Structure 1
Amino acid sequence: MNERLIVALDVHNIDTARNILDELDGIVSFYKIGMQLFTKFGPDIVEEVKRRGNRVFLDLKFHDIPNTVANAVYSAVDIGVDLLTIHTLGGFEMMEQAMKAALDGEDKKLRIVGVTMLTSLSDAFLKDILQVYDKSINDMVLILAKAAKSAGLDGVVASSFETRKIKEACGSNFLVVTPGIRPIGNDPFDQVRVATPEQAIKNGSDYLVVGRPIIKADDRAKAAMDIVEQMKRGAE
């Protein structure tokens, strides 16, 4: 179950990132590198995480014209990224070109998942900002997941609450990567659609992305192990 836990290295200091890697060595082997860390340290931080024998989830949510995104995917392949995010709202052609870039090699190692609706958004966003009154966030997630599947993506990023419907619509092998994971009693911070590790695994999520409940913990190793135990209960 440990391999299904992705720890988000959402820190701004390279020494803090290294401390997390040291403290979680042997417990966690998959790390998310997002905008905060990558903007400051670039490919070097990817290389360091990989050099320690870990996998890298590069969460930069590419969203641009198809050619630009495809070229960015080529770069991600070159630096050894294992999992990458792009925005499904970038359109079918953008997603399709991204997958072609990921597949352009003898051995496909990079998997791409599409970002549907951020877990910080609620139905009020659709109504108040987009003026969409006949769809819920859950509806939009499913629509975008189906589009991602049609474009050839490996899966999507979605909250635990949409996982079952996504699996039913797109197949059991279609990956669902779930952020917004909070153990019981943890502050949800800026996340809206949150779930416990046990709930997320029960609902069928393939990977759980956890940041602050681990990286802000006094004992990071214990926090990670506790989450793995909760994930195991969800699989029973």
Structure 2
Amino acid sequence: MLQPIIIALDFSSKEEVNRFLSSFRGEELFVKVGMELFYQEGPDLLRMLKDHGHHIFLDLKLHDIPTTVYKAMKGLAKLEVDLVNVHAMGGVEMMKRSIEGLEEGSLHNRPKCIAVTQLTSSTTAFINSELSIQGTVEQSVTKLASQAEIARLDGVVCSPLEVPLVRRNCRESFLTITPGIRTERDRLDDQKRVTTPLEAKKLGSNFIVVGRSITKAKDPFQTYQFIKEEWGTSYETTSR
């Protein structure tokens, strides 16, 4: 069972991760390992996290030609993480091949695969002027989510603000994983399209990704508990 709150391990070493996790008193977590950490520590870190009973979102955002992504996913599947991702802007064929690679490489259950639509740092002005994408961020997210569904992916990464659009345009079981989560007292930093955990739940997010609000807190465990309570007293889990 996967917990709906994913903690982003935004660290650069295994030692920092161990120091951070030591305050969680043996609690089973759903954690995100991104490029910075994975490139430094590699698969050994994932094995350590699994040995401690944690679930893993391996956030590498693959984006390449379809054959390369297929081969990469076939290899990543053997790491037996719970969730991986690609960039939706790689196109439908690339996303289809990512699923094929995961299915062929998986030893047991295939990891869920989601597509990044538009990063939460993106604005309409940015995608129009620098990426030459016409229309609004919301329109782009909706189109990319529809393409990810066509490619048989399990869901998308988007801002909580776009979740209702995805819900209206994709199947009910299509997952929404939403970064850009901040508590009321946190700074926005480089994020633009953000919400609180409670707002994200009301908008329909299946999972929220929380980083600095927890990892930079004076008491990470207490902050995590606070976010769990804000998410809801029932704190429902989501089935694989």
**TM beyond 0.5:** yes
| Alpha-carbon spacing, 1:106–1:41, altered in 2? closer, same or farther (3 Å) | closer
- For structure 1, list consecutive stretches of 5 or more residues without a partner in the other structure: none
Q: Paired residue for 1:145?
A: 145
- 1:107-150: per-residue Cα shift (whole Å, max 9, x none)? 433000000000001111022213444x1001100000000000
Q: Partners in 2 of 1:27 and 1:227 — Cα distance?
A: 15
Q: Partners in 2 of 1:161 and 1:99 — Cα distance?
A: 27
Report whether the alignment pairs 1:113 with 2:103.
no
Quick check: 1:29–1:54 contact (8 Å CA) kept in 2? yes
Q: Paired residue for 1:126?
A: 127
Equivalent residues, number: 235
Quick check: 2:62–2:85 contact (8 Å CA) kept in 1? yes
Q: Partners in 1 of 2:32 and 2:107 — Cα distance?
A: 25
Quick check: 2:66–2:97 contact (8 Å CA) kept in 1? yes
Question: What letter is aligned with 1:17?
Answer: V
Question: What letter is aligned with 1:192?
Answer: K
- 1:79-131: per-residue Cα shift (whole Å, max 9, x none)? 11110010011111110011112223574330000000000011110222134
- 1:195-231: per-residue Cα shift (whole Å, max 9, x none)? 1000001111111100101000110100100011111
Could you tell me how far 1:25 is from its partner in structure 2?
4.2
Q: Paired residue for 1:67?
A: 67
Root-mean-square deviation over aligned CA pairs: 1.9
Report whether the alignment pairs 1:179 with 2:179.
yes
- For structure 2, list consecutive stretches of 5 or more residues without a partner in the other structure: none
Report whether the alignment pairs 1:54 with 2:16.
no
Quick check: 2:2–2:55 contact (8 Å CA) kept in 1? no
| Alpha-carbon spacing, 1:221–1:50, altered in 2? closer, same or farther (3 Å) | same
Quick check: 2:13–2:41 contact (8 Å CA) kept in 1? no
Q: Partners in 1 of 2:147 and 2:235 — Cα distance?
A: 29
| Alpha-carbon spacing, 1:43–1:212, altered in 2? closer, same or farther (3 Å) | same
Quick check: 1:158–1:179 contact (8 Å CA) kept in 2? yes
Q: Partners in 2 of 1:217 and 1:32 — Cα distance?
A: 17
Quick check: 1:199–1:234 contact (8 Å CA) kept in 2? no
Between the aligned residues of both structures, percent identity stands at 37
